[in-house]
Amino acid sequence: MCMGGNDSAGAMRDQQQRQQNVLNAGQGQLDTIFGPKGGTIGTNLVDPTAGFSATQQYYNSLGAGVKGDDAKKLLDQGLLFGGSQQTAGFGQDFYNKRQQDYINYANPQLTQQFQQTNKNLDYSLTNAGLTNSQASNAGKSSLQTALAQQQQGVANQGLGQAQALQQQVGQEKNTLTNQLIASGNIGSGSTNALQAASQFGAPSPFAPVGNFFNTWTSLYGANQMANSYAQLNNPAMNPYLNNRVPSNSGALGNVASYR
Amino acid sequence: MLAGLGLSLVGTGLGVAAAQQDKNAMNSAVQQSLNEQAGYTKKANSAVQGNINQQTGDTARKQIATGAAQQSDLYKSLQSSKLQNQSSVAGMDPVTQARTEAFVDQQNRAGSQLAGYGNYATQSGLSNLEGNEQLGIIGTNAKNALDILPYQIQAAGHTGDKLAFAGTGLSTLGSLAGLFGVLNKLKAPGNTPAVNPNANAPQPNVGMIPMDSGYGVPGDPGFGTVPSYLKNFSSQMGGNPFLF
């Protein structure tokens, strides 16, 4: 007759409860590390087989100090930590800062390129004797619009990087949660989470911004060429067009024939 | 003997009670597990429901609007910054300037609105990740809890072991007591059968049916008489019953 069934079932129940506590505590740590407000978490998981001192200051998974019997209970559950660490979390301000960091990086370059392009436009208009003309207005309006569009592009690029970072952080938390579930090891989970969190805080290299006004300059230049061509075809601007005869007459046909 | 019978009955009763106790404990273990699983299901539903609430059209519109407003503010901030003042285009006539600014404003609104969709996509994806994480934890806890059910049922199957043991003990004791009672009854003087002093003496016609003393044992009603079938058979055989 077997009367040991209660013992093994009780042991299994205890083990299951320990696993559940570890998972819940690990999830709490990950929520703290990757949450919007941050907080304190326990670090350096204490090995249950290592020496335990009832008078020593220990910490629970969320960084609260414990001693004595409370610490011993946590040790038995594999949830006792030797240290604690404050984490800043990943709030909206963190992602906004990433966006602003890119803007701070790209916007001065944009401004510098704009000033140079604006000067070139001024020189071009002055050389053509078109200062304060309708052509000047059109050119400057076009440049102002191009500037606004490039500024939007910079802001959008910053937003995209901030959102990509937000997705990376979320994905990293997801990966660490899966690792926690698979391993049931809160110690390695919190260590990996802190490492991942610190990597997100480090600056990452930005790609060069390139020439913001390259497209505008090309379009404006092409437009100027087109205008010149149009002026050649304008009878008011080109007296030679008055001698124009039908091209099928055999004489000088059109302006193309003069060039 | 009666006491033994009583003990055996009590023992059997305890055995039945032990079996019932096992059955109840096993049912209780299963029910407890079902209740626990129901709790996990409730948690999982809550997690899914929370995620669903983050995925509705209303939430999407709010997230898009929030993202659009933030990006619009950013555009304005960028275009009115100190650097922007250094990069304004001078020399436009007021009409062209106003037209240009209106065009830029329209572009800002459209751009920020488009950026708002990105915010929705990001928030939606994050909500899904969060939901998956919660479900992962809840599902693992539920599975771990379910995994120990066989052990709990096995343990519950031994809940009545002590009672059954006591019952078996009483039954055994009852059997022994009954046997003891029978033996004692046999040993009592009044109950001992009378010993025939001639029991071992040579008997005439040993192995044959004693015609003079009949058949059976002394005290039986027909003792000493010849059975009728033998009489009939004897007459059929010429009056000698020993010829067959």
SS3 string, B90-119, reads: CCCCHHHHHHHHHHHHHHHHHHHHHHHHHH
Residues A26, A191 contacting (CB under 8 angstroms): no
CB contact under 8 A, B151 and A140: no
Residues on chain A touching B132 (C-beta within 8 angstroms): 174
Which pLDDT value is given to residue A8?
Answer: 79
Q: Tokens at residue B157, please? A: 């199957």
Backbone angles phi, psi at A85, to 5 degrees: -145, 140
- Asked if the C-beta of A217 comes within 8 angstroms of chain B's C-beta atoms, the answer is no
Distance in Å, alpha carbon of B131 to nearest chain A alpha carbon? 10
Contact B157, B78 (CB under 8 A): no
Nearest residue in A to B25, CA atom: A6
Q: Do residues B138 and B43 touch, judged by C-beta distance below 8 A?
A: yes
Q: What percent of chain A has pLDDT over 90?
A: 39
Out of A214-223, A247-256, B53-62, B166-175, least confident range: A247-256
Does A202 touch chain B if contact means CB atoms closer than 8 Å? no
Of all residues in chain A, the one with the smallest CA distance to B101 is A145
Residue A66: predicted pLDDT:
95
A129 residue type, one letter: G
Checking if the pLDDT of A257 tops 50, the result is no
| Mean pLDDT over each residue of chain A, to the nearest integer | 82
Which has the higher per-residue pLDDT, B5 or A5? B5
| Predicted pLDDT of residue A50 | 81
d(CA A93, CA A36): 9
Chain A: closest CA distance from residue B124 (Å) = 10
CB < 8 Å from B in window 21-60 of A? 23-24, 27, 30
Q: Does A114 sit within 8 Å of B107, measured CB to CB? A: no
pLDDT band at A231 (very low <50, low <70, confident <90, very high): low
Better pLDDT: A125 or A201? A125
Least CB–CB distance from B141: residue in A9, A20, A160: A20
A84 membership: H or E segment, kind and range: strand A81-87
Cα B147-B153-B154 angle, rounded to 5 deg: 105
- pLDDT score at B133: 92
The pLDDT of A36-60, averaged and rounded, is 90
Spatial CA neighbour of A16 closest among B148, B156, B149:
B148
> CB-based burial of residue A135 (10 Å sphere; 0-12 exposed, 13-18 middle, 19+ buried)?
middle
pTM above 0.80, yes or no: no
CB-based contacts of B87: which residues, under 8 Å, 6+ apart? Answer: A110, A111, A114, A115, A118, A147
ipTM over 0.90: no
Instruction: Tell if the CB–CB gap between A166 and B126 is shorter than 8 Å.
Output: yes
> A172: which residues sit within 8 A by CB, 6+ positions away?
A34, A196, A200
Count other C-beta atoms under 10 Å from residue A140's C-beta.
23
A120: distance to nearest CA of chain B, Å?
Answer: 12
- The answer on pLDDT for A223 being more than 90 is no
Q: Is the dihedral of CA B176, B178, B183, B188 positive or negative?
A: positive
Sheet harboring A81-87: ordered strands across?
A39-45, A81-87, A58-59, A65-66
Highest mean pLDDT among A82-86, A203-207, B54-58, B92-96: A82-86
Secondary structure class of A44 (helix, strand, coil):
strand
Task: Give chain A positions within 8 Å (CB) of B91.
Answer: 122, 131-132, 136, 140
The upper half-sphere exposure of residue A238, i.e. CA atoms within 13 Å in the direction of its Cβ, equals 17
Tell me whether residues B137 and A166 touch, CB distance under 8 A.
no
**Is there a contact between B71 and B159 (Cβ–Cβ < 8 Å)?**
no
A74: Cα separation from own chain's centroid: 39
Q: Which pLDDT band, with edges at 50, 70 and 90, does A226 fall under?
A: low
- Going residue by residue through chain B, which has 244 residues, state the pLDDT in tens, using 9 for 90 and above: 777 888 888 888 888 998 998 899 999 999 999 999 999 999 999 999 999 988 899 999 999 999 999 999 989 888 886 555 555 667 788 888 888 889 999 999 999 999 999 999 999 999 999 999 999 999 999 998 998 899 889 888 888 888 889 888 888 888 888 888 888 888 877 666 666 667 676 665 555 555 544 455 566 666 656 666 556 655 665 655 554 4
**C-alpha closest to that of A157 among A149, A168, A147, A169:** A149
Neighbours of B35 (CB within 10 A): 9
Residue A3 pLDDT > 70, yes or no? Answer: no
CB contact under 8 A, B144 and A145: no
- Shortest distance, CA B178 to any CA of chain A (angstroms): 25
Nearest CA in chain A to B142: A20
Pairing of strands A39-45, A81-87: antiparallel
- CA B241 to CA B239: how far, in whole Å? 6
Q: What is the DSSP string of A132-194?
A: TSHHHHHHHHHHHHHHHHHHHHHHHHHHHHHHHHHHHHHHHHHHHHHHHHHH--HHHHHHHHH
- Contact check, Cβ <8 Å, A13/B148: yes
If you measure CA to CA, which chain B residue comes closest to A21? B141
Is the pLDDT confidence value at A58 over 50?
Answer: yes
Residue A21 has φ and ψ, to the nearest 5°, of: -65, -40
Whether residue B86 and residue A111 make contact (CB cut-off 8 A), yes or no, is yes
Amino acid at A43: T
Q: Select from B137, B51, B133 the least CA-distant residue to A174.
A: B133
**For residue B88, which residues of chain A lie inside 8 Å, CB to CB?**
144
B33 to chain A, closest Cα gap in Å? 11
Amino acid, single-letter form, for residue B144: N
Rounded distance between C-alpha atoms, residue B42 and residue A246, angstroms: 89
Per-residue pLDDT band for A81 (boundaries 50, 70, 90) equals: very high
Mean pLDDT of A216-243: 68
Alpha-carbon distance values, B139 to A177, A236, B142, B143, B149 (Å): 13, 83, 5, 6, 16
Tell me the three state secondary structure of residue A82. Answer: strand
The residues facing B172 across adjacent strands are none
Mean per-residue pLDDT, A203-212: 70
Judged by CB atoms closer than 8 Å, whether chains meet at B118 and A152 is answered as no
Q: What is the pLDDT of residues A150-163, one digit of tens each?
A: 999 999 999 999 99
CA distances from B168 to A41, A229, B3, B159 (A): 58, 118, 16, 15
Residue in chain A lying closest to B126 (CA)? A170
Concatenated DSSP letters for A203-250? Answer: --PPPP---TTHHHHHHHHHHHHHHHHHHHT-TTT-GGGGG---GGGS
